Amino acid sequence: MRKAFISPTKYVQGEDELLNLGYFVKTFGDSALLIAHPDDVSRVKEKLDFTINKFNIKLVESDFHGECSREEVARLQALATEYSCSCTIGLGGGKAIDTAKCVAEGEALIIVPTIAATDAPTSHSAVLYTPEGAFDDYAYFKQSPSVVMIDTTVIANAPTRFLVSGMGDALSTYFEARATSRSYSNVNAGLPCGVNEGVCAEAKGTKTALALAKLCYETLLEDGVKAKLSSDRNVVTPALENIIETNILLSGLGFESGGLAAAHAIHNGLTSLEGTHHYYHGEKVAFSTIAQLVLENADKAEIQEVITFCAAVGLPICLADIGVVHMSDEELMEVAEKACIKEESIHSMPFPITAEAVAAAITVADQIGREFKISKGM
C-alpha cells in the first residue's frame, strides 16, 4: 500500500515573529516579491520596515489586486522576473496566500497569514478564480511552502470571528481523516494526477496524519473557549498559541495528509444556497461536520460533544446559523446532489453514499442543533 505525507519545510510561530521575516528571505537571497492586500501591509508596516532594515533586504510591493486569477498570477510572475526577486511572500488571508503559491509554483515560498481562519497556509494546493471572482480551477504544486511564519501578535489583534471560523474548519479534520482511514481512500498528499506521467498518483494516509488530526480535535476541546476569550481581549496566551497552531498546522497537515470526506463536500453543496454566502468557510464546515456525524450514525455522545463545543465558541449548529432560515425540498436535494458529485470527497466515507441519505443527514443535523438551542435557551 502506498502512503504519503506532506508538510512545509519549516513552520514557526511566536509573538512579533514577523520581525524575523528578513532572516528567512536571506536564506533565498536579498529580495522578495510581497503579495499582500494594501490593508494587510499597512497593519504590519512597522514590523516590515524593521525587518527590511535589520536584515538589509528588499521587499517588492506588488499592488495585489485581490483575486487569485490566472491574469493576476501572470502579472505578478512578470513583476518577480523584472525585479529579480529571490523568493515570494504571501502575506494576509486566503486569496493572497493562494496567489503567492501560484506565483512561486512550489519554489522559495514564504507564507505569512495575518488571520487564523483556515488551514490553507501549509498546503501545496491553491484555488484559482476568474478576475470577477467565480471559481476557475484547483492548482497543485510539487511541494508545500518553504516557510510558514505566524506572528501570533498579529493574529491576536485580528477580529475574533476569523479565529472561530478557523476552529470550525479545524473541527472537521479528525472526523474526515477518520472516515478516510476507515475507507482506505486516497489523500491529497499523493501526487496530483498528471503531474508526472507514469508515476502513481494514488496514496493513502499515514498513521502520523491521523494522530495529528486527532490531536487537532483534542486541542480544540481543551483550548478553544480560552483562545476565543484571549482573542476577544487581543492578547496572546498559551491557549491562543495552541489554537493558532491547531487551526493552521494541525488542521493543515491533517486535511492534506489525512484526507477529506463528507463535511467539506456538504459545505460545498451548501454554497449553492444564497443565504450562506455571508458566512465564512469554517462556519459552514462546522455545521457540515455535524451533518457528517449524523450521516455516519456516530455515537450520540460524540455528536453532543461537538455541538456543545460549537455552541461554546459561537460556531453554527443549525441551518439558520448559516443564513438558511427556510429551505425547500428541491433546494435541499440540490445541496445534497452537489455534495455527491463524482469528484467530491464525500465518497471517502466508508460506506455507499446517496443524495437522499445526505439530504436526510442535513435535515436531522439541523433538527438536533435547533433542539439543543431550545434546551439551552439560546
> pLDDT for 300-331, tens place per residue?
999 999 999 999 999 999 999 999 999 999 99
Distance CA(55)–CA(35), nearest Å, equals 19
Asked whether residue 194 carries a pLDDT value surpassing 50, the answer given is no
The stretch 333-352 carries a mean pLDDT of 97
| Cα pseudo-dihedral 139, 143, 146, 150, rounded to 10 | 60
* Helix ranges (DSSP H) in 83-206: 94-104, 152-156, 160-183
Candidates 169, 223, 321, 366; catalytic one: 169
Residues 6 or more apart whose CB falls under 8 angstroms from that of 152 comprise: 13, 14, 15, 17, 236, 240, 241, 244
Length of the chain equals 378
Structural contact between residues 163 and 241, judged by C-beta atoms closer than 8 angstroms: no
CB contact at 8 A, 177 and 258: yes
Region 270-282: mean pLDDT is 93
Regarding pTM above 0.75, the answer is yes
User: Looking at 40, 98, 267, 321, which residue is catalytic?
Assistant: 267
- In this prediction, residue 191 carries a pLDDT of 62
Q: Are strands 125-129 and 87-92 parallel, antiparallel or unpaired?
A: unpaired
Q: Residues 20-40: pLDDT tens digits?
A: 999 999 999 999 999 999 999
Q: Are strands 31-35 and 10-14 parallel, antiparallel or unpaired?
A: unpaired
Residues 129-165 as b/e (b if ≥16 CB within 10 A, e otherwise) read beeeeeeeeebbbeebbbbbbbbbbbbbebebbbbbb
CB 250 within 8 A of CB 215: yes
How sure is the predictor about 333, in pLDDT bands with cuts at 50, 70 and 90?
A: very high
Does the active-site annotation cover 37?
no
Q: Per residue in 91-124, is it b (16+ CB within 10 Å) or e — as a string?
A: bbbbbbbbbbbbbbeeebbbbbbbbbbbbbbbbb
For residue 196, pLDDT beyond 70: no
119 is catalytic: no
Catalytic residue among 124, 281, 321, 366: 281
281 is catalytic: yes
Q: What is the pLDDT of residue 65?
A: 87
Instruction: Return mean pLDDT, the chain.
Output: 95
pLDDT at position 19, please? 98
3-class secondary-structure state, position 151:
strand
Per-domain residue ranges of the chain: 10-156, 160-375
Q: Which of 37, 119, 223, 264 is catalytic?
A: 264
Chain-centre distance of CA 265, in angstroms? 14
Query: Which of the four CATH numbers 3.20.20.70, 1.10.10.60, 3.40.50.2000, 1.20.1090.10 does domain 160-375 have?
Result: 1.20.1090.10
CA 364 to each of CA 177, 178, 198, 368: distance values in angstroms, whole numbers, following the listed order: 23, 22, 45, 6
192: confidence class by pLDDT, cuts 50, 70, 90: low
What pLDDT score does 132 carry?
85
**Is 198's pLDDT higher than 70?**
no
Mark whether 169 is an active-site residue. yes
Q: Sheet holding 109-113: strands in order across?
A: 10-14, 147-151, 109-113, 87-92, 31-35, 58-61
Kindly report the CATH number that applies to the domain delimited by 10-156: 3.40.50.1970
